[in-house]
């Protein structure tokens, strides 16, 4: 099905099942520990051996040799994979650095070997006996220095009007530089794979957000046809973008299984993950704002510097600045410096998450210069059209309503504009806010739907559920479309033998994958009425199909054998006419200890306008998780770079801090009642990343309101406040 005109009324609009806050259907499996994750495929691969990954201890250079005699002789060792015996390896499209080093080393903890043994402990113990000799080369690890030395401009700067003269003429100006650190996805389940060969066919149980990308890149790397790879990723313990692409666990498990002639399981050790896989690159962002004394923005410039390995991309931290506020004269641009740190790539809301951390502080600072309320300042600079192309309207844009609704709900009117003016005991109290913005992406997505002789529906798609609720919203979609109760729908996900879906990334998963299921169900409905000899407008409800006094059950129509159809949704060029984005507002109250500068978040509110909310319960959970991550980004998360040796020092969950329950107070989430007919027949958009964008700045703005100390360098740790 091609989607190229705005959606009209369709069966989803009944909202009998879609839009209901139903419990996650995979919830009991997960909470009872019975959902089999990639490392737990004991039944499918009972004879699996264990692989242990050895990471490079230099950031850049060459492997001179590996003495593996002692490791080979160690108890239980079955095989040792290195670049020497791995065969000729190709390279996937999505990885920048190779997943197995040799002879060149491109970054610290790049895998240099996999030791396979009968038990995990034997593999780990033998791995310590490998003697790897390196020749180190000079590397570049310091973003600030690289920026001074001159970084490359990536793509062309987006220019509207004439920023330089617009800024020079502005009555009020603001020019500041902000920085965000490298961040680690730090998801709960590590990257993990169980791999087994049967002849020339490879089966993997892995933890991947994008099944088809993983299959393609694995086949390319191994140099085998894609058809010989069967990959399953039905349960995923979090990803946040760190599992968008094939990683070393999957490749090395496949190579280890081939060499050991046994199924092999590999989980990246936690201390390896930060440097072996990807991270969100640090940014330095310069923002210049020019406004009339009335508060109307006239000039906006946002430039962002980030680093990556050769061939990598910059963090697109200026994305939102092209769309969020009006202003005649504009300049946005990303600059890339080559660094030899591990590969930078997508982490939850890549671009906007760090971009909003800077822009939404700058907006507050400008409001203060203008002596305006920060919300009023944002409201008067709202735009309903793409500022660069005024003929392109936003499909929906209710930023102002989010701001106003949140202000009312949070009690914004009680805030004192004067910083450090509210004290309770030893604590300075402040409240702050920020707008939320994240673009809405759509991706082609397919599904197969089967109707069986009992009138039950099964949906099969390679879509993944990374803890987001995909199983549930897909079941809701099929139930609504086919007129059956939720219990009569079975959803099977994350299997490369199923139709290719949008996968989970860029907050496009919910809308795109359910739209694919919608498309398949439209086809199934057509097949059903045709078989039953009913008109096309027959009603599907209560497991029955009815038209003109005739009523047949789905079970009868399916017959004993049942049948299936498949289709996909393909998105046309509606985005030429409409800008699709999601909007919101974040509100935060903090208490800052007057003596220790310890920051405690006291309450938070997010108001989101993100199209139809397919399941308010799972969507709320997504936003709660995002707000929590935002607090981490504001106050804790920071991969510390060793600038001499080129690696992230705090590479485990003891050193890389994320919020725990004690850090998170009462959180409230509100959704505006909205449908977006431009986004898909579901009229939904993404919300899981929107919930993060702006949180950091809202915390920073609350801290400023509490203390009068303005920190522009994340995370806002107490040393920066004293
Ligand atoms: Mo998201 S960073 O595209 O999983």
Q: Among 689, 691, 693, which is best to mutate for testing ligand 1, by the most ligand atoms less than 8 A from CB?
A: 689
Tell which atom from ligand 1 comes closest to the C-alpha of 346: 2
Contact between 174 and 288 under an 8 Å Cβ cutoff? The reply is yes
> 503: left (phi > 0), else alpha (psi -120 to 50), else beta?
left
The alpha helices in 562-637, defined as continuous H runs, are 574-577, 616-635
Would you call the peptide bond into 715 cis, given omega within 30 degrees of 0 as the criterion?
yes
The predicted-structure confidence for 7-23, as pLDDT tens digits, reads as follows 999 999 999 999 999 99
**Residue 689 catalytic?**
yes
Catalytic residue among 343, 360, 674, 689: 689
How much is the pLDDT for 536?
94
Q: How many whole angstroms from 183 Cα to the centroid of ligand 1? A: 14
Among 211, 346, 508, name the best residue to mutate to test ligand 1's pocket (greatest count of ligand atoms within 8 A of Cβ): 346
Tell how far the Cα of 171 is from the centroid of ligand 1, in angstroms.
40
Question: What are φ and ψ of residue 376, in 5° steps?
Answer: -60, -40
pTM of the model: 0.97
Q: Quick one: three-class SS letters along 101-112?
A: CCCEECCCCCEE
pLDDT cut 90: percent of the chain above it: 98
On whether the CB atoms of residues 563 and 450 are closer than 8 A, the answer is yes
Among protein residues, the one whose CA lies closest to atom 4 of ligand 1? 241
Give the DSSP per-residue string, 306-325.
EEESTT-----TTGGGGTSS
- The per-residue pLDDT for 272 is 96
Final residue in a domain of this structure, among 201, 235, 267: 267
In a domain, 27, yes or no: no
Closest-CA residue to 11 (of 669, 471, 522): 522
Q: Are 422 and 706 in contact (CB under 8 A)?
A: yes
Instruction: Give the mutation target among 280, 470, 506 for probing the ligand 1 site: most ligand atoms within 8 A of CB.
Output: 506
Share of the chain above pLDDT 70, in %: 100
Contact yes or no for 488/456 (Cβ under 8 A)? yes
Instruction: Please tell me whether residues 468 and 584 are part of one structural domain.
Output: no
Last residue of a domain, one of 576, 603, 630: 576
Residues with CB under 6 A from ligand 1: 209, 239-241, 244, 346-348, 350, 505-506
What is the rounded CA–CA span in Å between residue 545 and residue 534? Answer: 8
Ligand 1, residue 240: give the atom nearest the CA.
4
The reply to whether 673 and 662 lie within a common domain is: yes
What is the pLDDT at residue 152?
82
Please tell me the distance between residue 281's alpha carbon and the centre of ligand 1 in angstroms.
14
Instruction: Give yes or no: residues 508 and 640 share one domain.
Output: no
| Interhelix angle 509-532/470-482, nearest 10 degrees | 30
650 contacts: CB under 8 Å, gap ≥ 6: 274, 638, 639, 640, 656
Q: Give tens-digit pLDDT for 424-480.
A: 999 999 999 999 999 999 999 999 999 999 999 999 999 999 999 999 999 999 999
223 plus 309 within the same structural domain: no
Structural domain includes residue 506: yes
Q: In this structure, is residue 177 part of a structural domain?
A: no
Task: Output the CA 526–ligand 1 centroid distance in Å.
Answer: 35
Reported ipTM exceeds the 0.90 cut: yes
Q: Which residue of 315, 343, 443, 505 sits with most ligand 1 atoms within 8 Å of its CB, as the best mutation to test the pocket?
A: 505
pLDDT at residue 361 tops 90: yes
Q: Answer yes or no: is 181 within a domain.
A: no
Mean pLDDT calculated for residue range 215-233:
98
Number of domains present in the structure of the chain: 3
- Contact call for residues 502 and 445 (beta carbons, < 8 A): yes
Convert 697-706 to b/e letters by CB count within 10 Å (16 or more is b).
bbbbbbbbbb
209 part of a folded domain? yes
Q: How far is it, in rounded angstroms, from Cα 179 to Cα 354?
A: 9
Q: Which domain holds residue 478?
A: 443-576
Query: Of ligand 1's atoms, which has the minimum distance to the CA of residue 243?
Result: 4
Res. 156 pLDDT band, cuts 50 70 90: confident
Same domain, 290 and 435: yes
Residues 369 and 471 grouped into a single domain:
no
Q: What is the pLDDT of residues 302-336, one digit of tens each?
A: 999 999 999 999 999 999 999 999 999 999 999 99
- pLDDT interval class at 153 (50, 70, 90): confident
Question: How remote is the CA of residue 247 from the centroid of ligand 1, in Å?
Answer: 15
* C-alpha of residue 575 to centroid of ligand 1, in Å: 21
| 709 in the same domain as 675 | yes
Q: Which atom in ligand 1 lies closest to the alpha carbon of residue 505?
A: 3
Classify residue 105: in a domain, yes or no: yes
Give the C-alpha separation, 151 to 306, whole Å: 9
154 pLDDT band, cuts 50/70/90, is confident
Q: pLDDT per residue over 588-629, tens digit each?
A: 999 999 999 999 999 999 999 999 999 999 999 999 999 999
Task: Give the CATH number for residue 343.
Answer: 3.30.365.10
Cis, bond preceding 103 (omega within 30 deg of 0):
yes
Helix (H) or strand (E) holding 429: strand 427-439
For 603, the enclosing helix (H) or strand (E) is: strand 599-609
Q: Please give the number of the atom of ligand 1 that sits closest to the Cα of 506.
A: 3
What is the spatial distance between Cα 99 and Cα 91, in angstroms, rounded to a whole number? 9
Boundary (domain end) residue, out of 576, 600, 623? 576
Considering only CA atoms, which of 559, 530, 533, 528 is closest in space to residue 544?
A: 528
Q: Which atom of ligand 1 is nearest to the CA of 466?
A: 4
Tell me the CA–centroid distance for residue 442 and ligand 1, in Å: 13
Give yes or no: residues 116 and 196 share one domain. Answer: yes
Cα of first residue to Cα of last residue in the chain, in angstroms, is 59
With beta carbons less than 8 A apart as the criterion, state whether 670 and 504 touch. no
The structure tokens listed for 702 are: 């609350």
């Amino acid at each position: 099905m091609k989607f190229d005109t705005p959606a009209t009324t369709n069966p989803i609009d009944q909202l009998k099942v879609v839009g209901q806050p139903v419990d996650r259907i995979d919830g009991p499996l997960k909470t009872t520990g019975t959902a089999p994750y990639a490392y737990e495929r004991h039944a499918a691969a009972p004879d699996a051996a264990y692989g242990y990954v050895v990471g490079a201890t230099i950031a850049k250079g060459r492997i001179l040799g590996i003495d593996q005699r002692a490791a080979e002789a160690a108890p239980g060792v079955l095989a040792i994979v290195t670049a020497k015996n791995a065969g000729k390896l190709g390279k996937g499209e999505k990885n920048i650095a190779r997943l197995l080093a040799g002879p060149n080393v491109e970054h610290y903890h790049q895998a240099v070997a996999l030791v396979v043994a009968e038990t995990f402990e034997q593999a780990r113990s033998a791995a310590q006996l490998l003697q790897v000799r390196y020749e180190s080369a000079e590397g570049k690890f310091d973003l600030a220095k690289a920026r001074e030395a001159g970084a490359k401009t990536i793509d062309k700067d987006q220019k509207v009007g004439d920023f330089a003269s617009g800024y020079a003429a502005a009555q009020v100006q603001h020019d500041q530089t902000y920085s965000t650190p490298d961040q680690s996805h730090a998801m709960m389940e590590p990257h993990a794979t169980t791999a087994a060969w049967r002849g020339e066919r490879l089966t993997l149980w892995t933890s991947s957000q994008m099944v088809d990308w993983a299959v393609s890149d694995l086949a390319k790397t191994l140099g085998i046809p894609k058809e010989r790879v069967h990959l399953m990723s039905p349960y995923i313990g979090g990803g946040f973008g760190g599992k968008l692409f094939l990683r070393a666990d999957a490749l090395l498990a496949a190579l280890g299984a081939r060499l050991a002639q046994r199924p092999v399981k590999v989980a990246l050790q936690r201390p390896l993950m930060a440097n072996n896989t990807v991270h969100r690159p640090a940014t330095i962002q310069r923002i210049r704002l020019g406004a009339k004394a009335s508060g109307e923005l006239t000039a906006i410039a946002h430039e962002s510097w980030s680093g990556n390995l050769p061939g990598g991309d910059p963090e697109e931290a200026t994305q939102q600045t092209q769309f969020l506020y009006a202003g005649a004269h504009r300049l946005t641009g990303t600059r890339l410096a080559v660094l030899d740190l591990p590969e930078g790539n997508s982490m939850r809301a890549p671009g906007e998450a760090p971009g909003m951390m800077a822009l939404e502080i700058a907006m507050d600072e400008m409001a203060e210069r203008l002596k305006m309320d920060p919300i009023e300042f944002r409201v008067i600079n709202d735009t309903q059209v793409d500022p660069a192309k005024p003929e392109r309207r936003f499909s929906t844009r209710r930023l102002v309503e989010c701001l106003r609704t949140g202000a009312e709900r949070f009690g914004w009117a009680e805030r004192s504009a004067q910083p450090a003016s509210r004290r309770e005991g030893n604590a300075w109290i402040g409240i702050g806010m920020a707008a939320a913005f994240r673009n809405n992406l759509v991706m082609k997505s397919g599904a197969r739907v089967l109707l069986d002789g009992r009138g039950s529906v099964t949906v099969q798609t390679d879509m993944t559920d990374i803890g987001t609720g995909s199983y549930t919203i897909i079941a809701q979609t099929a139930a609504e479309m086919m007129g059956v109760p939720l219990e009569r729908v079975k959803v099977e996900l994350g299997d490369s033998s199923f139709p290719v879906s949008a996968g989970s990334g860029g907050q496009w998963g919910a809308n795109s994958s359910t739209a694919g299921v919608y498309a398949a169900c439209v086809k199934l409905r057509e097949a059903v009425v045709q078989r039953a000899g009913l008109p096309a407008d027959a009603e599907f409800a209560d497991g029955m199909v009815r038209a003109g006094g005739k009523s047949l059950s789905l079970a009868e129509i399916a017959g004993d054998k049942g049948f299936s159809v498949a289709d996909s949704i393909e998105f046309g060029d509606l985005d030429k006419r409409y800008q699709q984005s999601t909007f919101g507002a974040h509100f935060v109250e903090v208490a800052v200890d007057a003596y220790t500068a310890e920051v405690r978040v006291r309450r938070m509110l997010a108001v989101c306008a993100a199209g139809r909310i397919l399941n308010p319960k799972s969507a709320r959970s997504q936003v709660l998780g995002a707000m929590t991550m935002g607090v981490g980004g504001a106050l804790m998360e920071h991969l510390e770079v060793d600038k001499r040796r080129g690696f992230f020092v705090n590479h485990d969950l003891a050193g890389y801090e994320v919020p725990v329950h004690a850090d998170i107070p009462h959180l409230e989430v509100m959704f505006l009642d909205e449908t977006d007919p431009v986004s898909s027949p579901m009229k939904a958009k993404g919300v899981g990343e929107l919930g993060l964008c702006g949180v950091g700045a809202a915390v920073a703005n609350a801290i400023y309101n509490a203390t009068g100390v303005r920190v522009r360098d994340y995370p806002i740790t107490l040393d920066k406040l004293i």
